[in-house]
């Protein structure tokens, strides 16, 4: 069945991306690499990070406020680039946004990928308390009926540690080793990094496993999903000579955050302070 053609001006509108902090920049960077002509509007809710230890109701309240801003920026797609927010607020956000924009999350593409690539195998998953306790990955993977034995472990220290710049050092290595040695992850053939912060410590995680376990960086999987989604709906931005100017907002501004964004996004970015409740 042929999908209806979108109005031409719709394709030129930006992609909105949001996360509790800078973790979602790993997804935004992957999207920018796969879709170099797309303009991104990013919102890091730094005033309320990390989302992983917040209640579902709190995350939903933050998500709705952020979507108001992204809708004002006329985003054609809103990507919830946070596993905790995807688990807690995706359905609500989709209902709230309605027909004003398409809403995507980071969980569904990863679940589909796991079902395709790891049918009949044992797969580990690490994420925040909110993501793991929601059981959303387990439910969705089980619904695929692909024989995947998913074993999840909450690793709550990792996201705040990364936000504070502790990666690539002995502190990070010790914490990572302690978590990955947990019996819950014993014998897994692949490990899903179910938090957008975790790609920054992918090397240390891979080092721990020494080739025994495949480490899945979800940001690449999500970026490919966004590309396919836009293609199928004829929403791809037309190619232009000048690179698009991305816009970055944060709900609480700190100098260290600005420095961290360079590491996460891989290039210089200018942050604009936009408090959610003022």
Which residues are tagged catalytic? Answer: 82, 195
User: Bridge partners of 197?
Assistant: none
Task: Please state whether 63 falls in left (phi above 0), alpha (psi between -120 and 50) or beta.
Answer: alpha
The edge-to-edge listing of strands for the beta sheet with 15-19 is 102-105, 77-80, 15-19, 40-44, 247-250, 271-273
Length of the chain equals 278
Distance in Å from the first CA to the final CA of the chain: 47
Among 211, 206, 128, 200, smallest CA distance to 168 is for 200
φ/ψ of residue 18, rounded to 5? -140, 155
């Amino acid at each position: 069945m042929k999908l209806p053609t979108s109005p031409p001006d719709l394709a030129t509108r930006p992609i909105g991306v949001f996360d509790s902090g800078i973790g979602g920049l790993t997804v935004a960077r992957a999207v920018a690499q796969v879709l170099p002509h797309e303009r991104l509007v990013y919102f890091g809710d730094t005033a309320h990070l990390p989302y992983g230890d917040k209640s579902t109701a709190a995350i939903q309240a933050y998500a709705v406020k952020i979507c108001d801003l992204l809708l004002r920026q006329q985003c054609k797609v809103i990507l919830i680039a946070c596993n905790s927010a995807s688990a807690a607020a995706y359905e609500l956000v989709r209902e709230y946004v309605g027909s004003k924009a398409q809403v995507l999350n980071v969980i569904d593409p990863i679940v589909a990928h796991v079902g395709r690539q790891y049918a009949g195998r044992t797969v580990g998953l690490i994420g925040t308390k909110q993501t793991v306790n929601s059981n959303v990955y387990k439910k969705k993977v089980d619904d695929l009926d692909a024989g995947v034995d998913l074993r999840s472990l909450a690793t709550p220290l990792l996201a705040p540690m990364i936000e504070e710049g502790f990666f690539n050092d002995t502190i990070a290595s010790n914490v990572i080793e302690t978590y990955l040695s947990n019996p819950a992850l014993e014998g897994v053939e692949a490990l899903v990094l179910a938090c957008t912060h975790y790609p920054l410590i992918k090397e240390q995680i891979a080092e721990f496993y020494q080739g025994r376990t495949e480490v899945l960086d979800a940001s690449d999987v999500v970026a490919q999903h966004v590309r396919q989604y836009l293609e199928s709906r004829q929403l791809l931005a037309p190619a232009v000579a000048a690179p698009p100017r991305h816009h970055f907002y944060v709900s609480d501004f700190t100098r260290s955050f600005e420095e961290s964004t360079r590491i996460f996004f891989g290039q210089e970015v200018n942050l604009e302070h936009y408090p959610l409740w003022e």
